[in-house]
Amino acid sequence: MRATLLEARLHAALDAAGNDALRRRVLDVLTVYSPASVGLYWPLSGEFDIRAVIAGWLAGDSARRASLPVITGRDRPLEFHVWTPDMPMQVGAHRIHEPTSGEVITPDLLFVPCVGFDADGYRLGYGGGYYDRTLAAFREAGKVPVTVGVAYDVCRAGTMQREAHDIPLDVVVTEGACYPEGKPGL
């Protein structure tokens, strides 16, 4: 299933109108939740590139902060380090770009990339468990950000196979909808 969804996502990412619609949905999320800080992701092949949206959001208020994940160990939760659009980056684990700030924060709202998802907010990632461990660590620390999955409609599956450690996202936004459906303001 993962391979099929990755291929579908690659094709969906080429649709300019779909990406414009997804940008608007991400902006709607930022408006509805009004976070002071967000965690985002460095886009991999086929993932929606959220960086320009967040750069614009940061420019609207100097008190706002953004952060990107840093992998500190294979079986460890992600750390979110402060990021600015003009910051020098370094290549980290899995050849993913990471900020060089070294300043760790817990975001108020966390955008999570999805390979696949279901209408209940469960997601399929790459299989490394990084976000599962991270969300569990946030819960244990009592610092739970609003979690927002970012995906394309073609990546919606009937029902994701769930394991005991899986934590559903609060919201998943796509170019055509918001899940769970009827989420106020989205």
The binding site for ATP consists of 123-131
Binding positions: 47, 123-131
Query: How distant, in Å, are the alpha carbons of 34, 57, 68, 77 from that of 31?
Result: 5, 10, 20, 28
Quote the DSSP letter at residue 89: E
Query: Which residues, 6 or more positions from 63, have their beta carbon under 8 angstroms from its beta carbon?
Result: 36
Binding positions for substrate: 47
Tokens 């980290």 — which residue?
Answer: 92
